[in-house]
A and B are shown apart, each in its own frame.
Chain A
């Protein structure tokens, strides 16, 4: 048979038509009502920014047939959001943007009865590293000088960070333990307030995420001393890592989207597809770069394994802090 242009067109069209129900079937699940997009933090923080960024990419490209409705449920260091997902009446339409209180809050507040391993992994959007910062007026330019300075102050060295048992306090506790530092720790509501008080020299050092300190760093006010990432960061190539200093420790803030426990496989596949596209988009890749987030894409099985190790690590870190 000679394949004429006309035949070819007809054939293609026929195949396409025949395949259509299949595609529809493969697509299968579609949201039937607006999607509850819970944010595990208050308005304005890192998780909130990410949620609203994701929502805007989804909206702008018309990716879902029902809207994402972001709601801030940051109360109780994320406890409110965790309970909301755990007790979700409609698991297929309830998803959440997380940070590390996803791990720490269930450990610290066992009364909640939340087991995060029952939650449905959807998409890992990236991880946010931590960096040790001092003010330029302190004259400190290396981590060694910093350690010396802290030791010389006999417990009067003041650092600020997020609330007790949250990310910043974990990083600082590990560092103090490893170097025998005695630090006066002042807890704040959020990373922004911490960065501001370092700029005003109310406190002497912080372990802000790069996104929080970037403005002051670019203005020359903050000096990065040490990164708590696995490898040196692209934006701060001259800053050594904790690992280089001989301590096997790295710490990141998880920026992931998870589904409620009991979400159907079809719905989970649908969301993975959508947020996978968001992850691939130029907008998101640009955001990862400008905010110094590290990419860490993983599938469902790897995510579950990752969660299990993270819960174990956090349990150990938290018990070390409390003792």
Chain B
């Protein structure tokens, strides 16, 4: 088949010494950037973009894609070891990764994350290789109503999961949604909720600010208060044998989540504007719903680590597709890659596959190579990350505070953001004391800015008629499923009450 000869050329190009060296450097740099709370692939790619003018475009994009990949693997590392999601795509990884680390199984969590990421990335690349042009046309069928329906589904998986307290979960989502509306509103063209006329609010409240505040400050304060400083540090030892047995356990207990994440993540990632965060979240939700042992989720289930990790890698490969074929970035990082391509003199769009086939297939080939490189490098560094956890908590806690503040400042270079981090941290500490789940708020601040404009665009399209979400062929089924999921807990409750009486 023609595709395979193109692919073989692409892999061959990616394996040339220069490109291979760039892949290895890129993946390693990305891994560490991703592991820093606050810094993600966006920062890494933006900082290193100018360097890429020294090499041909094909090598340049291979390098940047390698950083992107590495950062996706790296995001899990801070989620597991520090409990702070390094990027919005890794929030769901904290749900089970952090409990595993607290049980002294950090290495299992990290190995699971690495292997799931590898499978996710590879599965997505295979889909990409075989169906790229077809999927691009599917992506075009997703207008505002479809994207909104998808966001509704992402929220629904959250409420539907509702292991804990559903009213508190809904409160947390609403709180996050309100925070997400702060700042400038594109649709009306006016600023909203600029509290106390502080100009810093015009920019809005970013995910990084809330996540670092909640996890880096709030959760840490809570842990300190719970343990009164007498935290028993688990003493995870790392040996090659331990790594091998962890890998075996990861495969046995995480394969289901990995497959769900790989497939679901890719399809959500392909849709422009959606990106990897809803993909990882929905994969976690679906994995829990179809699991035979849902009570394990949230208490350290390897499946719960595997699903979001497979999904975020799969989705980030998927997000390359609309970038290359439509010229539409599916995520902030692909937006910068897109800018890079224009600067290199390429026109992303429907003709790129035909006009620049060497470039495109070199990139696709590099996905395969980068994935292999990333999983090996990641596994090699796991002992180092686990070793960090062996530090006494009295040293680790201040270190996390310092990292949080530095990461928060580096991302935007704004003092306003630092004060917000501290305020959110204190607020999160008290909410945590009253048992409010905070992850829904953190995710709402990511999904809200996608959901709100698409809702309003849809209603503008239909002149205010909400039936637009039900009658369109793609939006309709998604909306119906979302509504069933939202109502599911209520139905269960009714049935239970019915039985009691």
Residues of A within 8 A of B (CB): 42-45, 48-49, 52-53, 55-56, 59-60, 70-71, 73, 75-77, 79-80, 83, 108-109, 111-112, 158, 162-166, 169, 184-189, 192-193, 195-197, 199-202, 211-212, 214-216, 218-219, 221, 286-287, 290-291
Does chain A have a CB within 8 A of B326?
yes
Question: What are 9 of the A-B contact pairs (CB < 8 Å)?
Answer: A56-B53, A75-B202, A163-B189, A193-B273, A200-B141, A202-B144, A202-B461, A218-B347, A219-B351
Closest to A164 in B: B189
Most chain B CB neighbours (cut-off 10 Å) among A59, A80, A221: A80
Contact pattern, B 333-354, Cβ under 8 Å of A = 1, otherwise 0: 0111011101101011111100
Give the distance in Å from the alpha carbon of A215 to the alpha carbon of B203 in the complex. Answer: 31
Give B contacts to A, CB under 8 Å. 42, 46, 49-50, 53-54, 139-144, 183-191, 197, 199, 202-204, 272-273, 322, 326-329, 332, 334-336, 338-340, 342-343, 345, 347-352, 412-413, 453, 457, 460-461, 463
Pair B186/A192 contact, Cβ less than 8 Å? no
Chain A residue with Cβ nearest B340 = A52
Among A158, A200, A201, point to the contact of B461 (Cβ < 8 A): A158
Are A60 and B53 closer than 8 Å at their CB atoms? yes
Q: Among the listed B140, B199, B340, B453, which residue makes an inter-chain contact with A189, where contact means beta carbons less than 8 Å apart? A: B453
A155 (CB) vs chain B CBs: closest residue: B463
Q: Hey, which chain B residues are within 8 Å of A291, CB to CB?
A: 342
Tell me how far the C-beta of A111 lies from the nearest C-beta in chain B, rounded to whole angstroms. 8
Using known A-B contacts A164-B186, A164-B187, determine if residue A49 contacts B347 with beta carbons closer than 8 Å.
no
A187 to B349, CA, bound (A): 22
| Chain A residues, Cβ within 8 Å of B186 | 77, 162-164, 187-189
Q: Is the CB of B460 within 8 A of A186?
A: yes
Are B345 and A56 interface neighbours, CB within 8 A?
no
- Asked if residues A200 and B143 are in contact (CB atoms below 8 Å), the reply is yes
Q: Please, which residues of chain A bring their CB within 8 A of the CB of B273?
A: 193
- With A75-B202, A76-B191, A200-B142 known to touch, is A188 a contact of B326 (CB < 8 Å)? no
Which residue of A has the minimal Cβ distance to B348?
A215
In the complex, residue of chain A having the shortest beta-carbon distance to the beta carbon of B52: A56
Tell me the nearest residue of chain A to B54, going by C-beta.
A60
Q: Nearest chain A CB to B346's CB is how many angstroms away? A: 10
Cβ A187 vs Cβ B49 within 8 A:
no
Name the one of B50, B139, B327 contacting A192, with C-beta atoms under 8 angstroms.
B327
B332 with A44: CB separation less than 8 A: yes
- Chain B residues with CB under 8 A of A197: 143-144
A215 and B347 in contact, given A52-B339, A75-B202, A76-B191 (Cβ under 8 angstroms):
yes
Let me know if A286 and B345 touch, CB within 8 A.
Answer: yes
Contacts of B327 in A (CB 8 A): 192, 195-196, 212, 215-216
A211 to B349, CA, bound (A): 11
7 closest A-B pairs (Cβ-Cβ)?
A215-B349, A44-B335, A75-B203, A202-B143, A164-B189, A200-B140, A76-B202
Task: Add 4 more A-B contacts to A75-B203, A192-B328 (CB < 8 A).
Answer: A75-B184, A112-B199, A187-B186, A215-B347
A49: chain B residues at CB < 8 Å are 339, 342-343
Structural contact, B350 and A44, CB atoms closer than 8 A: no
Contact of A195 among B141, B185, B328 (CB under 8 A): B328
A56→B49 contact, CB < 8 A: yes
Q: Which residues of A contact B272 (CB under 8 A)?
A: 193, 196
Q: Please state if B199 and A56 are interface contacts (CB–CB under 8 Å).
A: no
A76 touches B189 (CB 8 A): no
Nearest-neighbor residue (CB-CB) of A211 within chain B: B342
CB-CB under 8 A from B352, the residues of chain A are 215
Instruction: Indicate which residue in A56, A163, A169 contacts B343 across the interface (CB closer than 8 Å).
Output: A56
Residues of B within 8 A of A108 (CB): 189-190
Q: In the complex, what distance in Å separates the CA atom of A62 from the CA atom of B75? A: 34
Q: Who on chain A is nearest to B416 by CB?
A: A80
A75, A212, A219: the one contacting B183 at CB < 8 Å is: A75
A219 B189 Cβ-Cβ under 8 A: no
Which has the most chain B C-beta neighbours within 10 Å: A55, A56, A214? A56
Tell me which residues across on chain A come within 8 A of B328, comparing CB atoms.
Answer: 192-193, 195-196
Bound Cα distance A75, B236 (Å)? 44
Interface residue from A75, A109, A221 paired with B204 (Cβ < 8 Å): A75
CA distance A56 to B47 in the complex (A): 11
CB distance from A183 to the nearest CB of B (A): 12
Contact B339 A44 (CB under 8 A): yes
Evaluate contact between B345 and A55: CB separation under 8 angstroms. no
